[in-house]
Chains A and B, each alone.
Chain A
Amino acid sequence: MKALCWTGVGELAVETVPDPALLNDQDAIVRVTASSVCGSDLHLINGYVPAMRAGDIIGHEFVGEIVEVGAAVRRHRPGDRVVVCSIVGCGRCWQCRGDNWSLCENSNPNPAYTETLYGHPTAGILGYSHAMGGFAGSHAEYVRVPFADHGAFPVPNRLSDEEAVFASDAVPTGWMGADQGGVKEGDVVAVWGAGGVGQMAARASYLLGAERVAVIDQVPERLKLAASHCGAATIDYSQTDVDAALREFTGGRGPDVCIEAVGMEAHGTGPQYAYDRAKQALRMQTDRSVALREAIHACRKGGTVSILGVFGGVLDKFPLGAAMNKGLTLRMGQQHGQRYIPMLLERMAANEIETGYLATHPMPLTEGPRGYQMFEEKTDGCLRAVFLPQR
């Protein structure tokens, strides 16, 4: 089959690889019909996530049809159309039973990496480095899904592949940002990042009762989409003093909930950004956190900063003084997708959450490298490239 492989820092190639096989009784094999790029893939591609190996198939946000199931799979059968959570969860450990799926204790076959780096092993993630398990990803014609009864969900008929694909990651991650931020009736929410996750976090904030939502980015096309599809106010950080704009937006209080949907390769302006950029380029720091610093500074006293963007290592110049003295609550984590996906698919089918507009650039899998280049450089208004391996 054809698959999009990481071949080195900043390099991707479509290669011919063997088809996946059932390796465990709880596996399913899914014929991938749509697989989206994700901002967090850029961290892998650009060498900021450890333990990538040339030949690794990337991709973790996908929809498809089950073609084969292992002997112990009970909830699915060949022919089922499913969306699969990017996080692998066993469904039976203490963390999964507590609905904290990205903390699964049994789904990372390479626990030593993150156990050594973070103190404890994290869950496996499809197509997301050997540190997160080394699972082959979804930018391929077929993909193996471990613990399929717990990670695959039937897709409502009224959703197209290009809509449903985002229930795999962008929609539940965005929802979790608002949910773990404790967004409630009357809140004012600010979202850093108008990518797919940021757009979904803005929409989720409104659905959870926020009265005003502002989205911060510098890409005009993305800000326009946040305004037209999510009803958010927009702030272009390349043109505007974000802190001042948010004071004005919130009556001087600061946002009740600040959602960071950017991560370790944040862009910004001014000397702070130049400093971060230089240190990261020299590999003297692992993560650039301009957006997170800004969120902590802007958040109202006693507010919550909810971090969705992926960070991998150690932050430099983290404003703990502001967080401590303003009594902020910091919430963060990889998505607990299995907790939210069934509910979100219902909301998507009921048109409460619109996702089709995120797929600005559907294309064949063979154009994978070009799709990632467009996505990273944000050319032609690319919000998400979505690969269609069967076309």
Chain B
Amino acid sequence: MRIRTAAWGAAAAGAVAGTAAVLCNRGDHRARGTGDGGAEHGRWHVITVGMPRSELLPGGVLPPPLDRLGDGVEIRTADAPGGRGTEIAVRGLALPGAGQSLRRILGTSTDQRIRRTLRQFKQLTETGEVLHMAGQPEGHHKPGGLLVAVGDRRATKEGLL
């Protein structure tokens, strides 16, 4: 796992200069994350967590469940504008390929792990828990509901994040 706590956004305290720095660094982030065709890694998945970086990553140490993402990912953090907390960006270090496509079908791709982990981290940090749904009461199922059941199983791993 590669961790960067680079200062994109860190200088944002000063109004104009800070804003310029944030914009500049966000541009850099976008270029690296989504516009770098041929690079050796996947795209950035970014989420904002409502806690200052100093509290979220004391000493630069990753808290759970981020620490469980392992060595195959790169993580960057930045101060979110307007005091909205910390932006956390994660991308897989391997280029998505046939293996990842198969893993995606199986629900075990790197991108899926990253999305689920980021969402869980945000929930845990902000609310103290991840909502559990298994064990809710429900009536009789029909075969037509199978697609929804499959969708639910993937609903924390997919999406636009």
Contacts and interface: CB of A to CB of B under 8 A. Distances in A.
A17 B157 contact: no
Interface in B117-132: 119, 122-123, 126-129, 131-132
B137 A147 contact: no
Given A112-B154, A115-B159, A115-B160, A55 B145 contact: yes
Interface in A48-67: 51-57
Given A19-B137, A91-B127, A116-B159, 17 more contacts: A7-B140, A15-B139, A17-B137, A24-B129, A51-B148, A54-B139, A54-B142, A90-B123, A92-B126, A93-B126, A105-B122, A109-B155, A112-B158, A113-B151, A133-B133, A134-B133, A144-B136
Given A54-B141, A54-B144, A113-B155, A106 B123 contact: yes
Interface of A: 1, 3, 5, 7-8, 13, 15, 17-21, 23-26, 51-57, 72, 90-94, 97, 105-107, 109-113, 115-116, 119-121, 124, 130, 133-136, 140, 144, 146-147
Main secondary structure of the interface of A (DSSP, over half): loop
Nearest to B115: A112
Nearest to A20: B137
Given A56-B138, A134-B133, A112 B157 contact: yes
Q: Chain B: interface residue count, which band?
A: 35 or more
B159 A121 contact: yes
B149 to A, nearest CB: 7
Nearest to A5: B139
A26 B151 contact: no
Contacts of B144: 8, 54
A111 B139 contact: no
A107 B154 CA distance: 17
- Considering residues B123, B131, B151, which has the most beta carbons from chain A within 10 angstroms of its beta carbon? B131
Nearest to A116: B159
Nearest to B84: A94
B132 A111 contact: no
A23 B133 contact: yes
A140 B138 CA distance: 10
Contacts of B139: 3, 5, 7, 13, 15, 17, 54-57
A26 B129 contact: yes
Interface of B: 48, 50, 84-85, 119, 122-123, 126-129, 131-142, 144-145, 148-149, 151-152, 154-161
A24 B159 contact: no
Contacts of A26: 127-129
A354 B131 CA distance: 36
23 contacts: A7-B139, A17-B138, A19-B137, A20-B137, A23-B131, A24-B129, A26-B127, A51-B148, A53-B149, A54-B140, A55-B140, A55-B141, A55-B142, A91-B127, A105-B122, A109-B131, A109-B155, A110-B156, A112-B159, A116-B159, A119-B160, A134-B136, A147-B127
Contacts of B149: 53
The 10 closest A-B pairs by CB, nearest first: A5-B139, A110-B155, A112-B159, A53-B145, A115-B159, A55-B139, A15-B139, A54-B142, A112-B158, A53-B148
A146 B131 contact: yes
Nearest to A56: B138
Contacts of B135: 21, 23
Residue among B126, B127, B141 with the highest chain A CB neighbour number at 10 A = B127
A69 to B, nearest CB: 14
Contact of A15 (B84, B134, B140): B140
Contacts of A21: 135
